[in-house]
Amino acid sequence: MNFEHTEDRRMLADSLNRFIAEQYNFERRDRIAKSAHGFSPAIWQQFAELGVIGALFSEADGGFGGAGFDLAVVFESLGRGLVVEPLLGAVMAGAAISAAGNDAQKALLADIIGGTTIAALAHDEPGAHYELARVQTRAEKMGEKGGDGWLLQGAKAVVLQGEQADLFVVSARTSGAADSEAGISLFLLPAKTPGLVVRGSPAIDGGRVAELVLDGVTLGADALLGAEGQGHAVLERAIGRGVLALCAESLGAMDAAKAATLDYLRTRKQFGTLIGSFQALQHRMADLLLEIEQARSAVINAAAAIDADRLTRERALSAAKFSIGRIGTRVAEESIQLHGGIGMTWELPLAHYAKRLVMIDHQLGDEDHHLQRFIALGKAVHP
């Protein structure tokens, strides 16, 4: 298999890396991440103009990429810059609309790619513990109540950039038990819909998240995304693309932490000697470099499998997320320890990379969850 990127992907990576280095330095990123808005609308528009959002979607959807390696290239660059703009939400919500939407619904993708509509996936719920099928938000038909639409009642948690989103893809149960794969439906929910309450809060690693409360939200029949009760498979594919994006982002953050640590070992002196000459530290750094390359292999494998059959795809994604969670946490810990006390200071970018690496492990399923999932999927292949 040829692992070299195409010329178009190399050009995209070069352009994005250069833009982030010149326009998104750590000081500016820190201001943006701590702002009341949670991201920069100006930077978001520049990402759209650069084609960064378009690279996440296929030509059929109006983009010019959409393959696994396109996602990996973009999010690896975003990870190096600790970018907080809502690209992950665009990936997952856009994938759901692309997979299940009718022509009118798919027309919304043009505005997402153009940066004029911010979309977010609202699926996770309090107490769900990463289980994809655990949906307690309910959606009921309103036929007997004076219409052909839907009545939604429930809550969603940790919606990325939910305060600034214009459109949500929301999961709700239309039938079945709370943890059944069957009976989950997806809906397009405009942010200004009456009955929707959005409560924002800062995220620990920068940017903002929101809790959504759906209190008697009414939607028209045209809000249903895909077939009623058949949303689980769509969610699995959409969130799978999010898992790949997070893994690639983590890889970029690892590379940045590695580079900062190597630079510190090469310049910091102790007892008049560069600490990078100490054999014990050299061994620790060598082990870390090997781990990062293992993580890179896992991301490559997941990117190559993103359009494969379900079991191949999901096993590769869970294997990558498990590896990224374990290795990312180790990179965070080792980088700080090799820096010593200065590694814990907020003024040093490394501390923020470490925090992001740890938090990526907890997004869309932590390493324990994905290890168990990988084992369960393996039993399906080899019962």
Cα–Cα distance for residue pair 379/383, rounded to 1 Å: 5
Yes or no: say if 245 and 324 are a contact pair by the CB < 8 Å rule.
no
What are the residue ranges of CATH 1.10.540.10 in the chain?
7-114
Residue 346: the pLDDT is 77
Strand partners, 187: 170, 224
Can you spell out the DSSP letters for 281-304? HHHHHHHHHHHHHHHHHHHHHHHH
What are the residue ranges of CATH 2.40.110.10 in the chain?
119-229
Considering the four listed CATH numbers 1.10.540.10, 3.30.1330.50, 3.30.420.40, 3.30.390.50, the one that applies to the domain covering 7-114 is: 1.10.540.10
Give alpha helix (H) positions in the chain.
Answer: 7-23, 26-34, 41-50, 68-81, 87-100, 103-106, 108-114, 231-267, 279-305, 310-339, 349-362, 367-381
Residue 5: the pLDDT is 74
Phi then psi dihedrals of residue 325, to 5 deg: -60, -45
Cβ-Cβ contacts under 8 Å for 357 (sequence gap 6 or more): 250, 253, 254, 257, 328, 329, 331, 332
Cα–Cα distance for residue pair 92/169, rounded to 1 Å: 9
Residue 279: the pLDDT is 83
Positive or negative: CA dihedral 313, 91, 111, 150: positive
Positive or negative: CA dihedral 351, 355, 360, 366: positive
Question: What's the pTM value of the predicted model, to 2 decimals?
Answer: 0.94
Residue 144: the pLDDT is 60
Yes or no: say if 248 and 110 are a contact pair by the CB < 8 Å rule.
no
* CA 357 to chain centroid: 12
DSSP annotation of 119 reads E
Cα–Cα distance for residue pair 111/343, rounded to 1 Å: 41
| Helical pair 279-305 and 68-81, crossing angle rounded to 10 deg | 140
- The count of residues in the chain is 383
Residue 146: the pLDDT is 47
Residue 194: the pLDDT is 96
Which stretches of the chain drop beneath a pLDDT of 70?
Answer: 1-4, 144-147, 276-277, 381-383
Cβ-Cβ contacts under 8 Å for 296 (sequence gap 6 or more): 251
Beta strand pairing status for 208-219 and 196-202?
antiparallel
Q: Which CATH fold would you assign to the domain 233-381?
A: Butyryl-CoA Dehydrogenase, subunit A; domain 3 (1.20.140)
Considering the four listed CATH numbers 3.40.50.970, 2.60.40.10, 3.40.190.80, 2.40.110.10, the one that applies to the domain covering 119-229 is: 2.40.110.10
Beta strand pairing status for 119-122 and 167-173?
parallel
- Dump pLDDT digits (tens) for 33-72: 999 999 999 999 999 999 999 999 999 999 999 999 999 9
Residue 273: the pLDDT is 83
- Dump pLDDT digits (tens) for 117-163: 999 999 999 988 999 999 999 999 987 654 689 999 999 999 999 99
Q: Look at the block and give the residue holding tokens 């290795």.
A: 327
